[in-house]
Amino acid sequence: MATHPAARGLNDDAAVLDLGDETLILTHDALVEGLHFLPGQDPADVAWKLVATSLSDLAAKGAEPLGVLLGYQLGGDDARFVAGLDDVLSHYGVPLLGGDTVGNVADKAGSQVLGLTAIGRATHRPVPSRGGAQVGDALWLTGALGQAMLGLEALRSDQGDSLAYRRPMALLAEGWTIAPMATAMMDVSDGLLLDAARMAAASGVTIALDRSAVPIAAPEARRDEALRWGDDYQLLFTLPASTPSPVPASRIGQVIAAGSAPLLLDGVPPAGPLGFEHG
């Protein structure tokens, strides 16, 4: 489907739509139980993640959320889902504008499917995209990677702190602050290496990462895993080389002329899978 003209834009960057004096940012995500969240996971956490990850897409555009619309398939602990939905909408001060609740076919109930549309307004134009990185720019990353990786392990083993996996944060204020300066920006949802390669491809450049400069929250022995793990929702952005980051962030690489590979890690293309490709 992804190659068909009508399907272009699916699973890509959030949509940008000029309307009157405003620019809208729109994103839609679907989650399938067993693919995108664990069967048996607390529905309150699923609701949080559904909303927060969409708000993270808005953050990467420097957008202020205006509201969300929910497509909810009944089938789990619906009261817990609503409790988590309340938590996340209250936390970010975002209204539930509408949506649809649907049931299941009695004899053919499968995995629960959830959909969320988030709509926001640009706080700065032009709106940052993943395609604007310029040769000579520096590459920056907010926060540390590997927190969600450790969080998922904690959740699965029922030992330790799983919060980073269960309730990721959308870095809205950081996005608004970075947007006026960034040449390119995106959130790291599928792993740093994969998402950096996507930024490079969209920008028509090569990105050269400095492996040891990337802050990780995991033990050093797991650095290569942490660089490939998603779900941390940190912001990845490029700035002109002489521009300091306006938010706490680490300089983790630079943008160079397009070479034979979109991504270099300490000077060579990284081996193996770059990250998590969503099904």
Pairing verdict, β 113-122 and 250-257:
unpaired
Q: Is the CB of 72 or the CB of 140 nearer to a copy of itself?
A: 72
Instruction: Tell whether residue 21 is a contact of a copy of itself (CB under 8 A).
Output: yes
Q: Nearest approach, Cβ of 124 to a copy of itself (angstroms)?
A: 15
Which one of residues 59, 60, 77, 96 is an interface residue with a copy of itself (CB under 8 A)?
96
Instruction: Tell whether residue 111 is a contact of a copy of itself (CB under 8 A).
Output: yes
User: Which DSSP symbol is given to 25?
Assistant: E
Cα–Cα distance between 237 and 233 in angstroms, integer? Answer: 12
Cα–Cα distance between 197 and 190 in angstroms, integer? Answer: 11
Instruction: Tell whether residue 279 is a contact of a copy of itself (CB under 8 A).
Output: yes
**Phi, psi at 37, each rounded to 5°:** -145, 160
Instruction: Tell whether residue 44 is a contact of a copy of itself (CB under 8 A).
Output: no
Instruction: Give the Å distances, CA to CA, from 182 to 22, 102, 254.
Output: 20, 41, 14
- The backbone region for 67, taken as left when phi is positive above 0, alpha when psi lies in -120 to 50, beta otherwise, is left
HSE, CB side, 13 Å, CA atoms: give it for residue 189. Answer: 25
Q: Nearest approach, Cβ of 97 to a copy of itself (angstroms)?
A: 4
Instruction: Tell whether residue 67 is a contact of a copy of itself (CB under 8 A).
Output: yes
Residue with tokens 């070479």: 259
Q: Nearest approach, Cβ of 245 to a copy of itself (angstroms)?
A: 29
User: Taking contact as CB under 8 A, which single stretch among the options 4-12, 126-134, 231-239, 265-273 is the one that binds a copy of itself?
Assistant: 4-12
Residue with tokens 């808005």: 58
Instruction: Tell whether residue 72 is a contact of a copy of itself (CB under 8 A).
Output: yes
User: Taking contact as CB under 8 A, which single stretch among the options 29-37, 122-130, 133-141, 146-154 is the one that binds a copy of itself?
Assistant: 29-37
Q: Nearest approach, Cβ of 6 to a copy of itself (angstroms)?
A: 5
N residues, the chain: 279
| CB contact at 8 A, 178 and 238 | no
Q: Nearest approach, Cβ of 121 to a copy of itself (angstroms)?
A: 6
Q: Residues interacting with a copy of itself, by CB under 8 A?
A: 1-2, 4-15, 17, 19-22, 24, 26-36, 66-67, 69-74, 78-79, 81-82, 85-86, 89, 96-105, 108-111, 113, 115, 117, 119, 121, 278-279
